[in-house]
Amino acid sequence: MPESENECGDGNVHYGPWVWTAYRAYNELLREKIKKRFDTQEGPWMDKVADVLVDIVNARWEGGRKKEKEAEELFEKLEKLLEE
């Protein structure tokens, strides 16, 4: 492998893979912390949205005119949640 492919940019050979591993770990940790914050702040709302989406899919699977009306009502409910 050419030396330039293994450098980290500061002239130190063989550190590149370790530095990129550290960056990936940092980003994964940050991603997990952000997910926790979203879950804490938005989790209850997201649970409601998820419930309505599952109901919409189930209503479409069951089909029929009655279910079309129900799906329409569910889409309205989803729209209201998304406006919150």
Indicate the pTM of the whole model.
0.54
How confident is the model over 47-59, as a mean pLDDT? 89
What SS3 string covers 10-73? CCCECCHHHHHHHHHHHHHHHHHHHHHHHHHHHHHHHHHHHHHHHHHHHHHHHCCHHHHHHHHH
Domain extents in the chain:
16-83
pLDDT surpassing 90 at residue 10: no
**Cβ neighbours of 38 (radius 10 Å):** 11
Out of 4-8, 22-26, 60-64, 71-75, give the one with best mean pLDDT: 22-26
